Amino acid sequence: MTTIGSRNSSILAVACLGIFLAGCGYNTIPSLEEQAKARWSDVQNQYQRRADLIPNLVATVQGYAKQEKDVLTSVVEARAKATQIKVDASQLTDPEKLKQFLDAQAQLTGALGRLLAVSENYPDLKSNANFLALQSQLEGTENRIAVARRDYIEAVRSYNTEIRTLPGVLWAKTVFGSKPMAEFAASDNARAPPQVKF
């Protein structure tokens, strides 16, 4: 009888522990962390999409505006720098690494803005079908970047809140060793997508 009683109490203790772990936030921290990492992947994907559009845009502009070599070179160089700086999910707790990435993206945004401003001087370029298609794709990509950044910001906010409040803070410090993720902070000139006017 004692063996059955102790077995039942062991089963009851394991069941209670399982309910406690399920309801106390133990699974919340890894879930929110993975969600933030996935959102960061979306941000990188959209920035890569923009980087992939740039060679075609530069080539199209180059055909019409050969004398704008400095502007074209600055776009190519900014793109190269922006694509060299990578931040993987394991580095999201390093604010300096994230800042380097965002600064490179802001430089690329500025260079693109100068390129698009130069296009105003070339009416034939502004009416070129390839240029118009690339401009439309770039505009759409800038919107996608804004949405991806917004989603990342919200995911990081949820994760950071969870690891700083009860009961998540207990799990974060004792079990997971969780660190807050770096928050997305765009520079002043990168807060808005470049103005595209043709």
Phi-psi group of 7: left, alpha or beta (phi > 0 → left; psi -120 to 50 → alpha; rest → beta): alpha
Strand residues in 56-151 grouped as ranges (E): none
Would you say residue 44 has pLDDT above 70? yes
Q: Which residues of 30-40 are buried (b: 16+ CB within 10 A; e: fewer)?
A: eebbebbbebb
For residue 72, the one-letter residue type is: L
Domains of the chain: 27-190 (1.20.1440.20)
- Kindly state the average pLDDT of the residues 59-75: 88
Least confident among 17-21, 106-110, 128-132, 159-163: 17-21
Would you say residue 153 has pLDDT above 60? yes
Instruction: At 41, list the tokens.
Output: 């992947």
Q: How many residues in total does the chain contain? A: 198
Q: In this structure, are residues 68 and 61 in contact, taking their beta carbons and an 8 Å threshold?
A: yes
Would you say residue 4 has pLDDT above 70? no
At 49-66, the pLDDT tens digits run: 999 999 999 999 988 887
- Kindly state the average pLDDT of the residues 103-128: 90
Residue 114, classified by CB atoms within 10 Å of its CB into exposed (0-12), middle (13-18) or buried (19+), is middle
For residue 93, the one-letter residue type is: T
More confident residue, 84 or 2: 84
Write down the pTM of the prediction: 0.78
